[in-house]
Structure 1
Amino acid sequence: MHVAHTRTRVVGALTAALLLSAATPTAFADEPEPAAPGDVVTQSPTEFHPLPGQWTNTRAWRITYRSTNAKGGPNTVSGTVIVPNDGRTGPRPVVTYAVGTVGLGDSCAPSANFPRGTAVEATLINQVVQKGWAVAVTDYEGLGTPGDHTYTVGRAEGTAVLDAARAAERLGIPGVDADSPVGIMGYSQGGQASSWAAELHDSYAPDLKVKGTATGGVPADLMKVAASNDGGLGSGLVLMAAAGQNAAFPELKLDTYLNPAGKALVDYFRTNCVAVDTTVGSFKHITDVTVQNPLQQPDWQARLAESKLGTHRPDAPVYLYHGTIDELIPYAVGRQLRADWCARGTNVEWHALPLLGHIGGVTAGGVPAANWLADRFANRPFHPNC
């Protein structure tokens, strides 16, 4: 009887172990579905290579996690969490990193490109990781998960960025938990997303210990950015932004405004990435691809106004930078964001980057921005210059 009982216990233990192995990386079947923003839905090991085959001595996980869409409803977003494989078990900071425009197709998502060494901004992300920090990189809503990417929809981007940090804290990484200091970082679309995360932090994710936000090349006013790019080098980005707004708000009915050329372009953008999109879409006027300009309609104007930044005071310090000859996001837009935040009492450290355009801004500004975050994690004095 004793032997039989022991055998039953052993078999039961082995069965449990097999079930545990089979359940990884997804949640157990008998566990409730994750519901809170930032809860991890799935996780699986992946690799992080800034360039093809480049070794980084890191561990990485592709995750999906709960977040919130622009209308306040629940959604699921994908992303990647990267941690130095340095043996450190004590506390380490978490940076939630928002990438610039990659495109609308799922193949463009950072998570899809990190293993291949083809992700945009991966070299800069690696510089952040090599500081010893855990880094969470959201794919944003609709990149790597069902549905279209809600490109340029500020609130959806901001929640995805904040919930990526929450998800990183809930993965069980040694030294990373709810007490970890958090930094927010991004440029261009990532500047919009990180700035929205900064504005949303106090109301949406006050549990995160945010020390500061480093943000640059910010498209803080989409109407002004669209007007500046109409017929220019970035005109394809305007149409991509319209598709992103329509993904979040289908009642805008973008297709009813597009002519056949416009519909063909949007269909093309939905399955391709930014390098080819900007080439194909450049130097077109809105009137070239529409039967009626949606940006002149009150419902479109109202939705775009919802993504305007500078209307709420970030509750942690901000490092804000912008190239003075930015050809895609007008310098005046960045300067106005500084003025709006300063008027609301934000601790802003502003840096104009003389004679630098959009790409030059991220190249020259990214490292100082990361160093500024390092100072925030070390509780060093900062120097607002409103």
Structure 2
Amino acid sequence: MRNRERVAAVILAMIASVTIAPAMAADPGPADDSFYVPPTPLPPGAPGDIIRWRLSQAGPVKSTVNAWQVMYRSTNALGQPNAVTGTVLIAKRVNPSTAPIVGLAPGTHGPAFRCAPSRMIDVGAFYEQPALNDMLNAGYAVAITDYEGYMPNPRTTYVVGQSMGHAMIDAIRAAQRLPEAGLSASAKVAFRGYSQGGGAAMWAGEQQPGYAPELNLVGVVGGGVPADLTQVALPLDGKPGFGLLMYSLIGLDAAYPDLRLDSYLNDAGRALVTQMQNDACTLELLVRYKGKRLIDYTTGSPVLTPSWLARVAENKLGTNPINVPVLQYHATNDELVDYSQAQALRNAYCAKGVKLTWKTQATDHITLVYYGNEDAKAFIADRFAGRPPITTC
């Protein structure tokens, strides 16, 4: 079996083998799934303020780290306050008051509640565990957002940058404001992610100057970035990535109720959406829905209608510069996130004066989840050490 097939098989086997168990809790957060249900109304506060927390089981690193699940205030794509969950981890051997902080934005986990990254971390099924281990072993605190909408009745805003960037930024703020963690408000910060997470990291980088100027941000890493949702989505119809296309429509509809996805669906489409939200994680998105076509689930395509195109345009990266050094990397044979739109983002950032390092690997999307880790790790280490970046613009 080729290397990339082996890597893909390992990822899918990990995800398929998991049975989600209830998380253990510590006061003041509830022990059951109600932890994930935002209080109504939200308590007063600012973005990044902690609403509740409990201990995380932290999967395979449990014995060596202190870890907490958190719910914190953030801001949705419409600029309104919301509540988001996530995980904060730091190695027990590390002095938290001097630790840099990495915001690790997860890749695609799927629309079902059982797929929430914090739940996957708890039970040892987080497929980006190698990246997480690298950050913890380097002595960094790590804040991982679940993104908006993971709850027993999920409404996840998949690939919606205006929501994901805020969720990433506020995960860092929440980590800094969690008294039990003991992290510094002036700690050096880096954003990192791949695929959906790469988009989230770049969005956080673009939003940070206006949304969280107090953060001591020193670098951003984004791999496999879905920068232009139209260019990413259209090639997936009828192809192996159809599940990601359908999930993108579900995510946009969750963020923007005015899009009214249901009005475009036939009965088969409504059944498909319900099935995805009840049961689909990454494995199901890539295997169960492989090769399906949007025309079989809709009465009319929403993808190119003016209202949808307007919302998609609001979530296109590259409009604003990122003011710190950036590492962007992409697979030249990426079959899930179009390579040419990643090149276009690279060119847009370079034109705006971003200090960008651009790297490619001749592999596919899933393989680069792992093969990109060394470059990401080295780039972040250099930023925390204050070394000057090498730009390729």
**Is the structural similarity TM-score above 0.5?**
yes
Displacement of 1:237: 0.7
Displacement of 1:367: 2.3
Could you list the runs of 4 or more consecutive aligned residues of structure 1 that deviate by over 4 angstroms after TM superposition? none
Q: How does 1:365-380 map to 2 (within 5 A)?
A: 365-380=372-387
- 1:303-355: CA deviation from partner (whole Å, max 9, x where unpaired): 111110011101111100000000001111111110011111111010011x2
Taking a change above 3 Å as real, the CA distance of residues 281 and 121 of structure 1, as seen in their structure-2 partners, is same
Q: Which residue of 2 aligns with 1:125?
A: 132
Q: For the residues of structure 1 that align with 2:151 and 2:266, how far apart are their CA atoms? A: 29
Taking a change above 3 Å as real, the CA distance of residues 198 and 89 of structure 1, as seen in their structure-2 partners, is closer
Residue from 38, 49, 56 that aligns with 2:59: 49
Displacement of 1:146: 6.0
Residue from 347, 350, 356 that aligns with 2:363: 356
Report the residue type matching 1:196 in the other structure.
W
Q: For the residues of structure 2 that align with 1:56 and 1:224, how far apart are their CA atoms? A: 44
Report the residue type matching 2:124 in the other structure.
G
Displacement of 1:33: 3.2
Q: Which residue of 2 aligns with 1:181?
A: 188
Q: Aligned with 1:200: secondary structure?
A: helix
CA RMSD of aligned residues (A): 1.7
Q: Aligned with 2:307: secondary structure?
A: helix
Taking a change above 3 Å as real, the CA distance of residues 133 and 34 of structure 1, as seen in their structure-2 partners, is farther
Q: For the residues of structure 1 that align with 2:54 and 2:380, how far apart are their CA atoms? A: 29
Displacement of 1:147: 4.8
- Greater shift in the superposed pair: 272-281 or 311-320: 272-281
Q: Which residue of 2 aligns with 1:283?
A: 291
Displacement of 1:89: 4.9
Q: Which residue of 2 aligns with 1:19?
A: none
Taking a change above 3 Å as real, the CA distance of residues 360 and 83 of structure 1, as seen in their structure-2 partners, is same
Report the residue type matching 1:312 in the other structure.
N
Residue 160, structure 1, aligned to residue 155, structure 2: no
Q: For the residues of structure 2 that align with 1:39 and 1:227, how far apart are their CA atoms? A: 38
Taking a change above 3 Å as real, the CA distance of residues 177 and 321 of structure 1, as seen in their structure-2 partners, is same
TM-score where L is the length of structure 2: 0.87
Q: For the residues of structure 2 that align with 1:36 and 1:178, how far apart are their CA atoms? A: 15
Unaligned runs of 5+ in 1: 1-21, 27-31
Residue from 365, 369, 390 that aligns with 1:383: 390
Q: Which residue of 1 aligns with 2:306?
A: 298
Contact in 1 for aligned 2:130/2:370 (Cα 8 Å): no
Q: For the residues of structure 2 that align with 1:24 and 1:248, how far apart are their CA atoms? A: 29
Taking a change above 3 Å as real, the CA distance of residues 144 and 129 of structure 1, as seen in their structure-2 partners, is farther
Residue 77, structure 1, aligned to residue 84, structure 2: yes
Displacement of 1:173: 4.9
Residue 219, structure 1, aligned to residue 226, structure 2: yes
Residue from 257, 260, 269 that aligns with 1:253: 260
Contact in 1 for aligned 2:108/2:196 (Cα 8 Å): yes
Residue 193, structure 1, aligned to residue 216, structure 2: no
- 1:337-382: CA deviation from partner (whole Å, max 9, x where unpaired): 10011111111010011x2110122211122102210110000121
Q: Which residue of 2 aligns with 1:327?
A: 335
Q: How does 1:265-280 map to 2 (within 5 A)?
A: 265-272=272-279, 273-280=281-288
Q: How does 1:200-239 map to 2 (within 5 A)?
A: 200-239=207-246
Contact in 2 for aligned 1:153/1:248 (Cα 8 Å): yes
Q: How many residues align?
A: 356
Q: For the residues of structure 2 that align with 1:82 and 1:270, how far apart are their CA atoms? A: 28
Q: For the residues of structure 1 that align with 2:143 and 2:269, how far apart are their CA atoms? A: 35
Q: Aligned with 1:184: secondary structure?
A: strand
- 1:133-173: CA deviation from partner (whole Å, max 9, x where unpaired): 10000000001476500111111000000000000011125
Displacement of 1:285: 2.0
Q: For the residues of structure 2 that align with 1:89 and 1:313, how far apart are their CA atoms? A: 31
Q: For the residues of structure 1 that align with 2:152 and 2:98, how far apart are their CA atoms? A: 31
Unaligned runs of 5+ in 2: 1-25, 31-41
Q: Aligned with 1:157: secondary structure?
A: helix
- 1:257-305: CA deviation from partner (whole Å, max 9, x where unpaired): 1122211111111122121122222212221221101012100111111
Q: For the residues of structure 2 that align with 1:196 and 1:230, how far apart are their CA atoms? A: 25
Report the residue type matching 1:49 in the other structure.
G
Q: For the residues of structure 2 that align with 1:132 and 1:362, how far apart are their CA atoms? A: 22
Report the residue type matching 2:337 in the other structure.
I
Report the residue type matching 1:128 in the other structure.
M
Contact in 2 for aligned 1:65/1:167 (Cα 8 Å): yes
